[in-house]
Amino acid sequence: MGQGQEVKTRDDAQVEIQERGEIFFFYRPKVNKEEARSPDDVQRLYIVLRPESGERPIEEKQDPDSGKEGAKKKGSNSGEKGSGGSQSGHGRHEVNIEKQPLLRFIVMGRKSLPDPSKKGRPYWGFVDMVTTNIDDVKTALQGEEYDTKTKGHRHTSAVRALGEGIYRIVRHKEEKKKPHTHLIYKLEFPPEDENNEPQESLNIKHEGSFHIQIKNPDQHGSSSTSQFRGLQNKRRAMFPAHLQGQFGNLRYCPADPPDFLNYEGCEFLLISASEDIEEELGLELQTEGEAVESCSDLIKTFGETASTSSLLRGTWV
């Protein structure tokens, strides 16, 4: 599929592309369930972002020996499916996103994207893993068998592929407003003319635009004063000084640069902005190729790791 292209449809469009890439959506059925037939059967919603180009070909990420990426290299199984006790990523390492894969495995706090009809209501999420190794993400997408002291043997099913498309992170400048950032996307799979019951149920529209705000890891309010309690201290992002300094005394800042998202434990808010990207931003996203199975980069990248019935036919599985 590739990263597609964007076309400005208005001369006065005040948007600047910060990052281009591919976006993949997945859901996991609840523990001990073999399939999902409605949102009530869904345990988690995941997003995988794969940046492929942008303002700069070189992006900065956490040290590959830190966080879950480092733990996996050392042979520790500390992915999202596990205890969640791993330290966040830290340090600095440069990656050429035009030549090397970079994958962000994201967990949404709710089991859906923000409802486009309820603008202004933020949805919390966090970057669970950042890696240049595709196999790390494949492992996170797999099912798991484990035992607990209180509930005995437990089983989680492998994820289901829910959507595949292209995304942009853009800087938006509006008159009399401070510049802010949007995460925008457009799906290629499932095709627009297919059924899309699971996608509609989880607010995965054919295209969408969200304000994205990065949460300051040094300013976490208590549960009584903050709407989002967030991650435990040891799991919060440890940004390098030049990124952390952009917050000042603020609790949130734009995803500018997108390098914020290259650190495990990065928490963010998505706030629904529009279902019509062109009307809102004067920008049209155009996917590449035909929406046929042989063109799916999700299938090419992750193979048989995830069931594709929801992806290709828009049905629950």
What total of structural domains would you count in the chain? 1
- The 10s digit of each residue's pLDDT in 251-276 is 999 999 999 999 999 999 999 998 89
- The 10s digit of each residue's pLDDT in 195-214 is 899 999 999 999 999 999 99
- The 10s digit of each residue's pLDDT in 8-31 is 999 888 999 999 999 999 999 999
Three-state SS string over 155-202 comes to EECCCEEEEEEEEEEEEECCCCCCCEEEEEEEEEECCCCCCCHHHHHC
Question: pLDDT at position 84, please?
Answer: 46
- The 10s digit of each residue's pLDDT in 66-95 is 999 888 877 755 455 544 446 788 999 999
Domain with 38, as residue range(s), is 5-313
Quick one: CA dihedral 204, 61, 84, 307, positive or negative? positive
Question: pLDDT at position 227, please?
Answer: 66
